[in-house]
Amino acid sequence: MDRRQRKTRDAIFRAFTGLLSQKEFHRITVGEIIERADIGRATFYAHFETKDDLLNDLCEELFCHIVDTEQSTEPQHHHIFEGDCSESAFLHLFEHLQNNDHNLVSLLSSYNNELFMRYFKNHLEQMVSQHRSLFASRKSDTVPDDFWIHHITSTLSDTILWWIHNGMKEPPKIITGYFFSVL
């Protein structure tokens, strides 16, 4: 994607996230998005076939960075699985949330939080599944893997929502400790 296309896509994302913080997803029209992004209808459709595709791409971009297993190219950015303890991946996640990268906290606590949590949980579940060895010492042999992964993912997403709704008073290291203490 060239620079011009990237700028247009970012403008669409900004317009869309702004609207999502004000109203429910199903009430937002493509017309409102293009008006706020200051682009033409053809430009919108050159990037996204539907509003649902826009939502999917927005969530992919927001959540993949946090849970992606590829090495980051950003300087001073620590990869989520760097470190010598299993908690580093989750600490990194909570740090991103504390920094409110890409207004993620706003989206997770907006009118559309259930919509975003569904996408977020799917990405978290992929991360947990790919790195299930991090949790091996905590898992009972009688518990099936798919249940264990679902349990970890649900506990993490509920911890995130609790933390957000309580004003994110605890630092990431403390909330990571809370999360691990209840597994």
Question: Is residue 166 classed exposed, middle or buried when 0-12, 13-18 and 19+ CB atoms within 10 A define those classes?
Answer: exposed
Contact 43, 8 (CB under 8 A): yes
Residue 100 and residue 163: Cα distance in Å, rounded? Answer: 13
Taking residue 34's Cβ as centre, other Cβ atoms within 10 Å add up to 19
In whole angstroms, what is the distance from residue 91 CA to residue 97 CA? 10
Query: What's the Cα-to-Cα distance from 150 to each of 123, 133, 145, 178, rounded to whole Å?
Result: 12, 15, 9, 18
Instruction: Work out the percent of the chain whose per-residue pLDDT is above 90.
Output: 38
Looking up tokens 């911890």, which residue turns up?
Answer: 159
Cα distances (angstroms) measured from residue 46 to each of 9, 53, 64, 78, 118: 10, 12, 23, 34, 27
Residues 6+ apart with CB under 8 A from 72: 78, 79
The pLDDT score that the predictor gives to residue 73 is: 47
pLDDT tens sequence across 63-101: 776 655 433 445 444 433 343 344 577 888 888 888 876
User: What does the pLDDT read at residue 171?
Assistant: 95
What residues does each domain of the chain span? 3-48, 66-181
Q: Which CATH architecture has domain 3-48?
A: Orthogonal Bundle (1.10)
Does the pTM exceed 0.95? no
Which regions of the chain are under pLDDT 70?
1, 65-87, 101-103, 111
Dihedral sign computed on CA atoms, order 80, 119, 40, 103: negative
